[in-house]
Amino acid sequence: MRTIIRKELLDHLRSVQFTVLLAASIVLFAANGLVFVQQYTRLNTDHHKDVAVNDQQPSTMMTRLYRAPSPLLFMAEGGEKASPKGYWLSPKLTLYPLSAGTGNFKMPDIPELDWAFIIKIIFSLYVILLGFEAVSGEKERGTLRLVLSNPVGRIKLITAKYLAIISSAAIPLLAGLLISLIVIGVFLPAVLGPQNLVRIAFLFMLALAYLSLFAFLSLFLSALIPRSSLVLLVLLAFWIFFAFFIPDTSSIAAQKFSKVPSEYEMAKLLGPTIQGEVWKRIARIQDRIQKGELKTERDVLDEANRAYEEGQDSVRKLYDDYDNAMQERAALAQRISRVSPAALFQYAAEAVSETGPKAEARFFRDVRNYSRVYDDYILKKVGKVVGTSPWSFSTGATLNGKYINLQSPFPQEYAGDKSDFPKFSESRPSLLDGLHNGLWDIAGLLVWNIILAGLAFSAFIRMDVR
Amino acid sequence: MLRTIIKREILEYLKSAKFLIGLGITLALAAGSTVINVQDYKGRLQDYQAAMQEMKSDRFYIHLYRPPQVLSTLIQGKDRKLGNSITVTYLDIPSTTSGYMGEGRSQHHRLVSGFAAVDFAFIVRVVLSLMVVFIAYNAVSEEKSSGTLKLTLSNRVPRDQLLLGKFLGGWFVIMGSLAIAALASLILVLSHSFIAFASGEWTRLLAFIGLSAIYLTVFYAISLFVSVLVNRPSISLMILLQAWVFLIVIYPNLGIIAAENIYKLPSQEQLAQQKAAAFQPYEAEQKKVQEAFGQAVRTGGDVPKEIALRNVDLWALRANLSHQVDEEYGRKLAAQTNLARAISSLSPAVLFDQAAERFARTGIAEYERFMREVYRYWQQHVERSKLIYTDREAYKKAPAIEFRVPVEPPAEAFAATWLAWLLLAFFSLAFFALGYTAFLKKDVR
């Protein structure tokens, strides 16, 4: 067995594919490390500056909650660049996103060069290139029956071939990862704490599990199809299908299949909601003045404030519904794309790196928790919690010939001592939480492995090697 | 003689399993992606038409909508990623479009970020180019390794004619595959009643198919060249696949990273500072006008005409100055993008993408046309808003301002992409010439 593995491994190590993969891996991972160092340094400096500025301006009207950049962005960026760096928070959990503003939207849409991408796209392709000939190539050359005429079991042979493919992909992968880590370690040693190193090691294992399924797929098709060039063609079709077609069409498919209303359908409710929930309530005030139900200016203003508050609650609810609908759709897109092992790997990598939609959802949980503390604080200091929405309203009413300006109420600033202003802090989830998030994805990768391994072994055992 | 060789080559390819499998895969992916993209276009078109009808502008909020491009069903470009609506007031011109929910609130990005487009352009760029590699990698090397090359050349067949025949034979097969895939996608697109191509669109589509043909020719010429150079088919396939990965996946990505590091962009804070500084001289005056305006509103009286007018003027000036800063920033974004493209212009895929988007009107150029029109509209809107205070009658009578983005003539798209065409043609010729001379000198034994 060891002899076979050694022979196979040596064959791979001498191949063009291996040399190019090693070179590509080194270049890409080094670029990844350098880009991350620059990006993270900038993001982190900005984050600390932003938080410090906000801490100096405690306010009961609005406060800013910033999201700390993930120190593991280099592993899986997870769309963090496009999401806001934080939110304005007003009382009653009114959120307004702060600009994201780091990406150039005019650039061609090319995915981030993170570890997940390099492994998902480039390495999987090279595993195919290393493995497509494993059986069919030997059969074409006639060496397969020679090998099997020796006392070598078929299971042993294919296991050896599998191990050789995985090791020849693991060597450049390890080399690349180390280079990326060295670059990061030199410039940002703080990033590579023991916690993160465990996560990195875990991602490496996930990568092997992901690449392993491509190795099994290659062996399976290589045993099934007699001509290696055809094997390669079919493998590349799978690769395109898994790595591009499914993940990239899932978002459109989600829109098609989801019952969730589209952005436009939600947006068109905005006008009628404001009309029905705010202006109708306000219009009733003038009626009640005429009927003599509201006698003093105070009555009118109190009534207007109540009407505005209720109206604003409805408007805010519409925005919340919209946010939920969009999140639901994005989640559906993710679920659809999970058909592809490349997507499973991407989401598992995001779970380990604490990036992506799951990490954003965790941030929102923290924000919700903080919002309660914030509202309690405002209640204690100001006496009432006034909710707003992205809209403010203003109109007038006349009482006994006097014009009264009816302005939708704003939260008030507390003028006294705010040294006990509550600080916002993000929860720091452990690796176990991350794994819990990525459990289904990791399980999915293993299932793919088991199925493909079964297929590869059975195809090879039944194969006519003559 | 040439015809015999071509005929033989074509027949050989048509009989081969790799061609049939390749074509099958291409057709399946092309059909799948086109069906999905047509459905997406349908949804976006319905939303756009409904928005034009139902979410109309009022006197203050002007809603302008960007129509989805019909060719995005084949070449999605950025059409889906860029938002479809923009709301301007005399107080503000947003720097970019957003989703229908409005600037800052729209979660549009959630549904599009991280997803690349799988469309007919992708099929050409990735799938067909791969098929080309598979068709041509062993065109010469296989014959050499199996010994038929010397047999063929022992007949009275001139070498140049043999290579030309091989080249043309394979080329016709590739063009045939492209035509079949394009036709299949096109039929799928046009079978929907809500899709209609204007005459300009047909020109654009033809240009795109021509572009695809040249793009595939580049890969074909490279493959043939490598096949002449390398004697073992398996090695030539490996070399070609590495080149393919490099040109299509790795190199464009590195080009962008390089451009982002060479050409730095100002931060959002710097932009905010620039905007504040530009308006600084008018800050005090605006505060005074605002106070007078607010005072009048609070007491329910009429706002004095000159105060109201100056108020609009100052707000519009602030919006305009901010817009200038945004414009300058937009130019920097474009410059960075152009640098990335220039760095990776040796990749046929980058050239192809850039020109394809331009022809489909789904790229940044079309978006910029839209935004220029938004600005022009905004200027007219400000003038109109001032009429409320100067001449109420004239304001009431003034017809609605029409918002219409002029359609770019296809000739302009050609003019903008000539370099891409030229470079692609040059690569095709250069690699063909290299292959040709290498073949003439080749030891065929």
d(CA A287, CA B428): 79
- What's the number of CA atoms in the CB half-sphere (13 Å) around residue B432? 20
Q: Write down the pLDDT at residue A237.
A: 92
Best CA proximity match to A70, nearest among A58, A80, A84, A82: A80
Residue B405 sits at the chain A interface (C-beta within 8 Å): no
* Cα diameter, chain A: 109
Q: Write down the pLDDT at residue B85.
A: 93
Neighbours of B5 (CB within 10 A): 20
Distance from CA of B156 to the nearest CA of A (A): 32
Q: Write down the pLDDT at residue A200.
A: 95
Q: Judge: B111–A323 Cβ closer than 8 Å, yes or no.
A: no
Query: Which one is predicted more confidently, B138 or B92?
Result: B92
Residue B108 confidence (pLDDT) above 80: no
ipTM given for this complex: 0.89
Q: Which residues of A touch B43 (CB under 8 A)?
A: 255-256, 262
Query: Could you give the number of structural domains in chain B?
Result: 1
- pLDDT by residue (tens digit) across B346-355? 999 999 999 9
Three-class secondary structure of residue A404 per DSSP: strand
Q: Write down the pLDDT at residue B113.
A: 64
DSSP tag of A402: E
Best CA proximity match to B198, nearest among B71, B378, B382: B71
Give the percent of chain B with pLDDT over 70.
Answer: 98
What are the C-alpha distances in Å from B319 to residues A408, A417, B84? 25, 37, 21
Domain with B109 in it: 2-441
pLDDT bracket for residue A101 (50, 70, 90): low
Mean pLDDT of A397-422: 88
- Closest partner residue to A108 (CB to CB) among B82, B242, B252 is B252
Q: From its phi and psi, is residue B285 left (phi > 0), alpha (psi between -120 and 50) or beta?
A: alpha
Distance from CA of A170 to the nearest CA of B (A): 19
Query: Residue A110: what residue type?
Result: I
Q: Judge: A121–B252 Cβ closer than 8 Å, yes or no.
A: no
d(CA A32, CA A27): 9
- What's the number of CA atoms in the CB half-sphere (13 Å) around residue A336? 20
Q: Which residues of A touch B100 (CB under 8 A)?
A: 263-264, 266-268
pTM of the model: 0.91
Q: Write down the pLDDT at residue A33.
A: 94
- pLDDT by residue (tens digit) across A322-375? 888 888 888 888 899 999 999 999 999 999 999 988 888 899 999 999 999 999
Best CA proximity match to A74, nearest among A124, A108, A118: A118
Distance from CA of A380 to the nearest CA of B (A): 30
Q: Which residues of A touch B364 (CB under 8 A)?
A: 106
DSSP string over A72-125: TTTT--TTGGGS-SEEEEETTTEEEEPP---S-TTS-------HHHIIIIIIHH
Residue with token string 């391994």: A453
Q: Which residues of B touch A76 (CB under 8 A)?
A: none
H helical segments located in B139-190: 141-146, 148-154, 159-190
Neighbours of A456 (CB within 10 A): 27
- pLDDT by residue (tens digit) across B195-239? 989 888 999 999 999 999 999 999 999 999 998 888 888 888 888
- pLDDT by residue (tens digit) across B14-28? 888 889 999 999 999
Q: Which residues of B touch A229 (CB under 8 A)?
A: 18, 134, 138, 233, 237
- What's the number of CA atoms in the CB half-sphere (13 Å) around residue A423? 9
Residue with token string 């293993």: A446
Three-class secondary structure of residue A153 per DSSP: coil
Q: Write down the pLDDT at residue B114.
A: 62
Q: Write down the pLDDT at residue A252.
A: 83
Residue A270 sits at the chain B interface (C-beta within 8 Å): yes
- Closest partner residue to A107 (CB to CB) among B110, B117, B340 is B340
Annotate B355-399 with three-state secondary structure.
HHHHHHCCCHHHHHHHHHHHHHHHHHHHHHHHHHHHCHHHHHHCC
Q: Among the listed ranges A450-464, B43-57, B150-164, which one has the minimum average pLDDT value? A: B150-164
- Specify the length of chain A in residues: 466
Interface mutation target, options B241, B299, B339, B350, chain A, most CBs of A under 10 Å: B241
pLDDT bracket for residue A100 (50, 70, 90): low
Q: Which residues of B touch A340 (CB under 8 A)?
A: none
DSSP string over A151-198: S--HHHHHHHHHHHHHHHHHHHHHHHHHHHHHHHHHH-GGG--HHHHH
Residue B8 confidence (pLDDT) above 80: yes
- pLDDT by residue (tens digit) across B119-178? 999 999 999 999 999 888 887 777 777 777 777 777 777 777 888 888 899 999 999 999
Q: Write down the pLDDT at residue B374.
A: 96
Q: Among the listed ranges A134-138, A370-374, B62-66, which one has the minimum average pLDDT value? A: A134-138
- pLDDT by residue (tens digit) across B180-198? 999 999 999 999 999 989 8
Give the percent of chain A with pLDDT over 90.
Answer: 44
Core vs surface per residue B162-181: b (16+ CB within 10 A) or e: bbbbbbbbbbebbbebbeeb
Three-class secondary structure of residue B102 per DSSP: coil
- Closest partner residue to A129 (CB to CB) among B107, B241, B254 is B241
Query: Which one is predicted more confidently, A146 or A63?
Result: A63
Residue B424 confidence (pLDDT) above 70: yes
Residue A133 sits at the chain B interface (C-beta within 8 Å): yes
Q: Which residues of B touch A113 (CB under 8 A)?
A: 253, 257
Residue A15 sits at the chain B interface (C-beta within 8 Å): yes
Q: Among the listed ranges A181-190, A390-399, B149-158, which one has the minimum average pLDDT value? A: B149-158
Q: Write down the pLDDT at residue B210.
A: 96
Structure tokens at A440: 């289904």
